[in-house]
A and B are shown apart, each in its own frame.
Chain A
Amino acid sequence: MEKFDVVVVGAGPAGNAAAYTLARAGLSVLQLERGESPGTKNVQGAILYADALEKIIPDFRDSAPLERHVAEQRMWLLDENQTCTGVSHRDARFSQQPYNRYTIIRARFDRWFSEQVKSAGALVICETTVTGLLKDDAGKVIGVRTERAQGDILADCVILADGANALLGERAGLRPAIKAEDMALVVKEVLFLPKETLEARFNISGTQGVVIEIAGNVTHGMVGTGFLYTNKDSIAIGIGCMLGDMKRQQLTPCQLLEGLKRHSAVQPLIDGAEMKEYSAHLIPEGGYRALPQLYGEGWLVVGDSAGFVNAVHREGSNLAMTSGRIAAETLIALRQAGKPFTAANLAGYKQGLDDSFVMADLKKYQGVPELLNQNPHILDLYPRFVGDAAREILTVDGVPKRDKQKKILGELARRRSLLGLLGDAYKFWRAFR
């Protein structure tokens, strides 16, 4: 039977970061991916945060397939009255090298990342699904079982980088099943648009790109958000909501996406575009309070599989890469010190995460999932109110502004009691402070 220092399950950003770092340090690494090639199964918006990748491959900009750098960010509140209220932030400094955020196409990016993993010396095998973990009598994880004949493989440590579903950990009894309340379902389309048309519509040139984050009633009152990102010659547009909400509302994700695409603020941007790709994916958005056990005897879990997603800022791939890197660094340090990969020794991984932005950010927003879950009106009432208030103030009709203000505040009080407002404000402050 084949044996490796480390088997990494999954070739997304988390698994690639781990496999790359381990292989470069000279450990023997086998990475298993069920997709035909890395990236074929993966979905992201996709914004790449340079910082996390730079810490793994400092000169990634020289060879990685990047679409556009983010030169402008917009935040939009959309509702069914076809209103669009928002802010935009364009900063010339965003367009100075080295850029901080990029749009990417995961199918291409993951392939590139995987090439780096192979060059670093890891053995990468695709089209191979890991179906379970091998354990010894004491319950220590000692390898993986794949779906292929003669498919058992031994390892001193198994890194679970198998993404949002986290089925392997669940099946091996290392974690409970993820709750629908903690999972978002997102659908996304890639729409082809000639480069010149796209650049004219978004007022961009060169490698500049625009990112639009969308909230409001386009989610039909469910907890969720939408997005629209510019690639070189395509637009990525998507929308997602909590799985639990969708189940209750009996709305299909494609209905939501169609609604978003028809919205008067969005439609002109994508007009005439041809759909190139349609995909759907889960995002674990339970946050800090939903985190599972992160390590044990002979195993570690990284990325989406561990639930490392900052839903408030739509960050996931950077947490995935960072956790993959820290997991690898933990194993490398232990190997160099001649120590075995026991649970006690692997606790260093948790420590490394605690010392990084990963845990700091997850902790900061730990109250958000619950806040939104229990107060879904926050994503419905307030955006709608903002839209109505803006329309009132901007309509010039001979009514004195003071009366308009009164009317707006009166309207707010009608929709939500003073106590309710104060309560929301307090809860909001607690969740986001």
Chain B
Amino acid sequence: MHIAVCIKQVPDSAQIRVHPVTNTIMRQGVPTIVNPYDLFALEEALRIKDRTGARITVLTMGPAQAEEALRKCLSLGADEAILITDKVFSGADTLATSYVLAAALKTLDARTPIDLIFTGKQTIDGDTAQVGPGIAIRLGCQLLTYVSKICELEPTARHIVVERRAEGGVQVLKSALPAVVTMLEGSNELRFADMPGMFRAARQEVQRWNRDSIGVELAQVGLKGSPTVVAQVFGPRPKAVKALRIDGETPDAIAEAFVDKLFADHPHLEDAMLEHLELLGQQGVKP
């Protein structure tokens, strides 16, 4: 069994700042991390490896420094890492990114057939959740998004059963392999690498693939292949709402003052409440 995990190195969004003068995002000096959602995907792949002895290849498209993110995955137990890097790939939106990743996965598949492809549900710097689906459609694989649990994986029967979080409930889906699975946050807890893992990650070679290694159309990669236009970036204005302090003689008086204030600010709340009370009254319930 061969599992591919697609990851991305992202700026730690908790530490990004907006330039106070130019209002642009200041990425310089912001530490980078492995996209947190991708780590849930990696951990799920590692658990399958623990059970079945599967082989794991991690891939990322990114600049040279993204190698660090791949090494982190190696330390946790991935077997092989591939950095897809080329200056023509830069400036890619999700369309161009999924094109390049799909091309790389095809190349990898030709070498060692892939049974399962994992990604995180989305990245924290783009938040689009489009890359996983983009890969699946290009490779003609089954697509399982927002997966919270892998229930069953039968490499011999070549199917997978997952729980998928959908609007209003959980779907249990059975799908044929190969499939693309995008993992939800909180679905597992990432392991802590052991020392031999750290040594392996520090020493192992990270393969570098460029446009020639994966045979791509130049018109479809990088900025050229990216129809998305960022029209504007802005920080939301902070709301100038002051905290209100309500004083009163008794707890009841304070509560009453509070409710009055609430209803004054949000009249529809009062309406809804009255309606509800009336309904209860009709049912003979005494509030």
Contact = CB atoms under 8 A, between A and B. Distances in A.
Given A148-B192, A151-B195, A153-B195, A36 B202 contact: no
B203 interface: yes
A108 B194 contact: no
Contacts of A108: 29
A150 B194 contact: yes
B196 A36 contact: no
Contacts of B195: 2, 128, 146, 148-153
Given A150-B195, A274-B20, A105 B29 contact: yes
Given A37-B31, A148-B193, A150-B194, A125 B199 contact: yes
A107 B195 CA distance: 25
Contacts of A124: 202
Given A123-B203, A276-B17, A128 B31 contact: no
Contacts of A123: 199, 202-203
B31 A36 contact: yes
Contacts of B230: none
A40 B31 contact: yes
Contacts of A276: 17
A65 to B, nearest CB: 10
B209 to A, nearest CB: 23
A194 interface: yes
B21 interface: yes
Nearest to B22: A194
Nearest to B72: A127
A288 interface: no
Interface in A92-130: 105, 107-108, 123-125, 127-128
Interface in B1-32: 17, 20-21, 29, 31
Chain A, interface size: which category?
Answer: 20 to 34
Nearest to A275: B17
A309 B20 CA distance: 37
A99 B20 CA distance: 32
Contacts of A127: 198
B31 A125 contact: no
Nearest to B20: A274
Interface string A140-169: 000000101111110000000000000000
A125 B17 contact: no
A125 B200 CA distance: 10
Nearest to A32: B198
A107 B21 contact: no
A276 B17 CA distance: 8
A148 B199 CA distance: 11
Interface residues of B, number: 16
B29 A192 contact: no
Interface string B180-221: 000000000000111111110011000000000000000000
Contacts of A152: 195
Contacts of A149: 192, 194-195
Nearest to B18: A274
B256 to A, nearest CB: 40
- Centre residue among A37, A128, A148, A274 by max chain B CB count within 10 A: A148
A124 B192 CA distance: 18
Nearest to A105: B29
Contacts of B194: 148-151
A113 to B, nearest CB: 16
A148 B31 contact: no
Interface in A26-45: 36-37, 40
Contacts of B196: 150
Contacts of B203: 123
Contacts of A107: 29
**Residue with the greatest number of chain A CB neighbours at <10 A, chosen from B68, B195, B202, B203:** B195
Nearest to B68: A37
Contacts of A151: 194-195
A125 B29 contact: no
Nearest to A194: B21
A201 to B, nearest CB: 15
Contacts of A192: 17, 20
B46 to A, nearest CB: 15
Interface in A1-40: 2, 36-37, 40
Contacts of A40: 31
A2 B195 CA distance: 10
A415 B203 CA distance: 67
B195 to A, nearest CB: 4
Contacts of A274: 17, 20
A153 B198 CA distance: 12
A129 to B, nearest CB: 11
A427 to B, nearest CB: 45
A146 B20 CA distance: 42
B199 A2 contact: yes
A125 B196 CA distance: 11
Contacts of A2: 195, 199
A105 B193 CA distance: 30
Contacts of A153: 195
B238 to A, nearest CB: 14
Given A123-B203, A148-B192, A192-B20, A128 B29 contact: no
Contacts of B21: 194
B72 to A, nearest CB: 8
A194 to B, nearest CB: 5
Interface in B63-98: 68
Contacts of B202: 123-125
A127 B198 CA distance: 9
A36 B15 CA distance: 15
A95 B91 CA distance: 40
Q: Which 9 A-B pairs give the minimum distances between C-beta atoms?
A: A149-B194, A151-B195, A148-B195, A274-B20, A150-B195, A125-B198, A150-B194, A194-B21, A148-B194
Interface of B: 17, 20-21, 29, 31, 68, 192-199, 202-203
8 contacts: A40-B31, A125-B198, A125-B199, A127-B198, A146-B195, A150-B196, A151-B194, A153-B195
Given A124-B202, A149-B192, A276-B17, 19 more contacts: A36-B31, A37-B31, A37-B68, A107-B29, A125-B198, A125-B199, A127-B198, A128-B195, A148-B192, A148-B193, A148-B197, A149-B195, A150-B194, A151-B194, A151-B195, A153-B195, A194-B20, A274-B17, A274-B20
